[in-house]
Chains A and B, each alone.
Chain A
């Protein structure tokens, strides 16, 4: 099993969620996060003084998938989240040791 963490633009969340639902993904966790990458943030103006906003709002989508479904999920997210402009985000994949469904106590693939 793998954990997929995708940092995406907030307004792409609906597309990513719908695309993942289309390929049979049944659940995910999202959170509001802030961050920046190579291009850094941008400057804004408040009461006549300029200031730099380093951290831009992003959405972090987290989901755990079986190994054989991983590539399809990554392609789906990449496609749905892409705008082609800077700040489209990143996807991180890591291994998962154990998954437990709290209600039933099921473990492993059944618990995803």
Chain B
């Protein structure tokens, strides 16, 4: 019976990993629905390729860089590895939506080699892993259970760097005006967002690390409950705010609001009482409603709202732990959270910007104007998502 905990926790990690991997089709469907039909194959190819590249890099070098060794006493090391590997794909999938409809596949795959093999593992190293900053001035005392900062804002900062270097889609901002490019398939957007929502239960629940005792089982259940609550209130607030401000219920924004709430809760879903996540998720959803038009004003073209969902709420969620769950005796303080946000921001943004800038010199990230007009499905993949003759206007 002494193996019981080991077996249960291994099973738990494998189950959580499976849920997290459901977020890969989640991102893919969300993005496929939000782009124009001429770019659907391309966005799906990017999603699949970078998921494979990042996970493979994590297997080859990333895991060891992050955790120092392949050892785990609490569960099968293979399950521990798979659980961690499931996260790296999320970091890069966050990027793929924000750069869609103009990014070329080869340069972003190349950047993903760095992201999966170096940038993300180093962020994990200093937060959850071996901690090469231990004892230095920069040593992080940030509480980030499932990665509001480690995953969401990490992906967000890299995305911001990519968007700044690539520029907007052709025709998106004309004569200082915003040219709206509507989504092509709302049912896919809904499917994708709800798959992400379900995946989040593994993302946050699994991050508790163990379920094989009564206390841990309670913590896992509370974590998943709080995660869900924040998604609900994010969706509700986004819907209410959109209606108050524009008199319209825009489902793409309501879902972004839900995802914003889910990102915001991710840093500390195990720390809050059952009602606090209502407020944290609501602020997350509200931030999305205000951030989406703001990024548009700044001409940072983000077709899916990934900056608003993952970057803005990654920061908010990490700070929220410092506001709502500060426990100085346990080392959780607002300043500690802020420092974690800042250190990761400076590191990820600087390294990503430099890497993308250099790759961009040899392999331009942005497809040419003519290629964008024709659609990346044809120019990048040679395969249109919807080749038949219908609704071809």
Contacts and interface: CB of A to CB of B under 8 A. Distances in A.
B393 A50 contact: no
A51 B180 CA distance: 6
B215 to A, nearest CB: 43
Contact of A49 (B183, B289, B293): B293
B344 to A, nearest CB: 28
A51 B179 contact: yes
Contacts of A49: 178, 180, 293, 296
A45 B248 CA distance: 8
Nearest to A55: B393
Interface string B177-190: 01110110000000
A41 to B, nearest CB: 13
B253 interface: yes
B252 interface: yes
A45 B289 CA distance: 14
Interface string B285-317: 000010011001000000001000000000000
Contact of B182 (A34, A48, A51): A51
Nearest to A51: B180
Contact of A48 (B183, B246, B393): B246
What interface size band does chain A fall in?
10 to 19
Contact of B250 (A32, A45, A51, A55): A45
A48 B245 contact: yes
Interface string A32-70: 101000000000111111110001000000000000000
Contacts of A50: 180
A49 B183 CA distance: 13
A45 B250 CA distance: 8
B242 interface: yes
A44 B180 CA distance: 10
A76 B183 CA distance: 39
Interface of A: 32, 34, 44-51, 55
Interface of B: 178-180, 182-183, 242, 245-246, 248, 250, 252-253, 289, 292-293, 296, 305, 391, 393
7 contacts: A34-B393, A44-B182, A48-B242, A48-B245, A48-B292, A48-B293, A49-B293
The 6 closest A-B pairs by CB, nearest first: A51-B180, A48-B293, A45-B248, A46-B182, A46-B180, A49-B180
